Structure formats: structure tokens, C-alpha cells
């Protein structure tokens, strides 16, 4: 059971609002107040006066610039920029890959733009050239014999 002295001690520590008191002691404190105990009522009145003075301490309005700076200090996900999206291309492997692709394309373009070499009919074999056919047949015949 809560004594008037314990009530006064708690009021002196926690103030007049019983919701700020230790949870376990609140029901008995309320009961003592309901009983009209003079010591308890007086302690509560004194505590209420100081609470009122404590509540008079006002703080400056919120500094919006500070709030903005703090928000900017947070690591938030931002939409990917062009360079962020293609940053992989700038990696060493990416650079080498792009280089090789460039050389290949260059060679292709160069080969297509050069005039075709003049072909000499005498040098090229002809499908009507019987001499070669004989040789082939001869070779094949020798292999068959073996």
C-alpha cells in the first residue's frame, strides 16, 4: 500500500502527471488521491506548479535548412543517370571489348571499301580443266590399290 510519504517522494521526482510515474505504482497513487489524503494532494499541487514552469520552456521553430541538409546526407537511391547506366562499359574488360569490336568493324569497312583484286583467268583453276581431274583420279586410284 502506498504511503503519503511515498506519494510525495514520487511527485517530487516525476511531477504531477501520474502517467509519468512508475507503472506499477500508478493504481495505488490514484487510490490515495481518491481517498482525499491531504499530504498527497499538497504534494501534487506543488509538483503541478513546477511542471507548469518546466512547460514554459519553448524551443525555436524547426530549422528547415537543417532538415534539408540532414535529408541530403542520407544515402538514398536516385534514378540512374546515363553515365551510371553505362558505367560498366568503362571497366577495363569493357574497354578491351569495345576496342576489339572497333578493330573488327574497321577491318570490315576497309575490306569492303577497297577495290577487288584483278583476277587472272590463267591462274585460277577451271571446272573444265581436265588435267586436274586426271590427277585427282590418279591419286584416288593409287590409294584404292593400296
Partner 1 sequence: MKETDPDVELLARIGHQDPAAVNEMVSRKLPRLLALAGRILGDADEARDVAQETFLRIWRQAANWRSGEARFDTWMHRVALNLCRDHLRRRKERPLNENEDINEVVDSTPAPDEQLEAAARSEQMAAALASLPDRQREAIVLQYYQELSNIEAAALMNISVEALESLLSRARRNLRSYLAETPGHARPGRET
Q: How far is the CB of 27 from partner 1 (least distance, A)?
A: 16
Smallest separation (angstroms) from partner 1 to the CB of 50: 6
Strands of the chain (E only): list them: none
**Which residues, numbered 104-143, are part of the site for partner 1 (CB under 8 A)?**
none
Radius of gyration of the chain (CA): 49
* Beta carbon nearer to partner 1, 66 or 144: 66
Q: Does 59 help bind partner 1 (rule: CB under 8 A)?
A: yes
**Is the distance from CB of 16 to CB of 51 less than 8 angstroms?**
yes
Closest C-alpha among 39, 47, 44 to residue 5:
39
**Residue 53: helix, strand or coil by DSSP?**
helix
Binding mask 63-92 for partner 1 (x = CB under 8 A): x--xx-xxx-xxxxx---------------
Q: Does 146 bind partner 1 (CB under 8 A)?
A: no
Amino acid at each position: 500500500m502506498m504511503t503519503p510519504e511515498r506519494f510525495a517522494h514520487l511527485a517530487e521526482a516525476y511531477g504531477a502527471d501520474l502517467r509519468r510515474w512508475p507503472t506499477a505504482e500508478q493504481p495505488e497513487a490514484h487510490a490515495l488521491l481518491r481517498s482525499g489524503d491531504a499530504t498527497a494532494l499538497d504534494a501534487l499541487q506543488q509538483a503541478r506548479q513546477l511542471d507548469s514552469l518546466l512547460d514554459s520552456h519553448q524551443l525555436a521553430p524547426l530549422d528547415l535548412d537543417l532538415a534539408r541538409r540532414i535529408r541530403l546526407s542520407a544515402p538514398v537511391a536516385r534514378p540512374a543517370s546515363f553515365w551510371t547506366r553505362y558505367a560498366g562499359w568503362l571497366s577495363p574488360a569493357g574497354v578491351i571489348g569495345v576496342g576489339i569490336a572497333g578493330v573488327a568493324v574497321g577491318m570490315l569497312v576497309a575490306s569492303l571499301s577497297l577495290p577487288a583484286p584483278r583476277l587472272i583467268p590463267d591462274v585460277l583453276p577451271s571446272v573444265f580443266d581436265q588435267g586436274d581431274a586426271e590427277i585427282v583420279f590418279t591419286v584416288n586410284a593409287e590409294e584404292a590399290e593400296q
